[in-house]
């Protein structure tokens, strides 16, 4: 039923890269803290960096729970499931790190996302995950669903923002600079978006 893998390559990598949505799960160390589960999409915003490293773009939103949890403890699980084709679920358990706009690694990491215009979605971080455990399981109970396309709403909402107005937007949100449980979230003020090279 389930199988463990040493690396992300071959059929496993092809499956992950073909999915239109994946999910992230994180939690604080405090056993009473809030577990966070988030869906992630947008074509081109996920990349396999190497056999043990993946990354995805973290866009503007009303919360920054994943960032806060990763800053505190680094634990993260990513999950993909097939909504068409053979029933498959893949999980990557590992350690994640948010790379922010003023990090010298930013430009190099952005090269893995050539189809994304970083100015359109309020890009605030790149989440880099190093895999520690990679497993697949059956997805027999996952329903068939058809992908119709990416929603244009996120881009149309945030492409109007400048670095300054985006920073102001984040300052107004209760759980961006600080998580629901009071952990440090997105560092503010927001640094300018580096120029694309």
Please tell me the predicted confidence (pLDDT) of residue 44. Answer: 96
pLDDT for residue 65 is more than 90: yes
Tokens for 115, please give them. 């189809």
Residue 53: how many CB atoms within 10 A of its CB?
15
DSSP H helical ranges for the chain = 10-18, 65-72, 106-110, 153-158, 163-172
What average pLDDT score do residues 127-150 get?
A: 96
74/93 Cα distance (integer angstroms): 11
Residue 1 pLDDT grade (very low, low, confident, very high; cuts 50, 70, 90): low
The pTM of the full predicted model, rounded to 2 decimals, is 0.96
Q: At 48, which helix (H) or strand (E)?
A: strand 46-50
* Digit-coded pLDDT (tens) for 100-130: 999 999 999 999 999 999 889 999 999 999 9
Q: What is the mean pLDDT of the chain?
A: 96
SS3 per residue for 75-116? EEEEEEECCCCCCEEEEEEEEEEEEECCCCCHHHHHCCCCCC
- Residue 196 has what pLDDT? 76
Please tell me the predicted confidence (pLDDT) of residue 76.
98
Q: Are strands 75-81 and 88-100 parallel, antiparallel or unpaired?
A: antiparallel
Rounded to an integer, the average pLDDT of 58-74 is 97
């Amino acid at each position: 039923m389930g199988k463990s893998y040493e690396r992300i390559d071959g059929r496993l990598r092809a499956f992950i890269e073909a999915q239109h949505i994946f999910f992230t799960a994180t939690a604080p160390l405090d056993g009473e803290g809030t577990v966070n589960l988030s869906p992630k999409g947008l074509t081109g915003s996920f990349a396999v960096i190497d056999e043990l490293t993946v990354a995805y773009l973290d866009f503007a939103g009303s919360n920054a729970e994943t960032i806060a949890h990763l800053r505190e403890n680094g634990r993260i699980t990513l999950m993909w499931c097939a909504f068409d084709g053979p029933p498959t679920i893949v999980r990557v358990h590992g350690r994640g790190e948010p790379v922010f706009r003023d990090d010298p690694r930013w430009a190099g990491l952005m090269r893995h996302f050539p189809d994304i215009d970083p100015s359109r979605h309020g890009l605030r971080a790149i989440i880099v995950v190093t895999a520690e455990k990679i497993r697949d399981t059956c997805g027999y109970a996952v329903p068939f669903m058809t992908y119709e396309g990416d929603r244009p709403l996120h881009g149309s909402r945030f492409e109007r923002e400048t670095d300054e107005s985006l920073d102001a937007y984040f300052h107004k949100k209760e759980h961006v600079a600080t998580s629901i449980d009071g952990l440090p979230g997105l560092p503010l003020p927001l640094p300018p978006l580096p120029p694309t090279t």
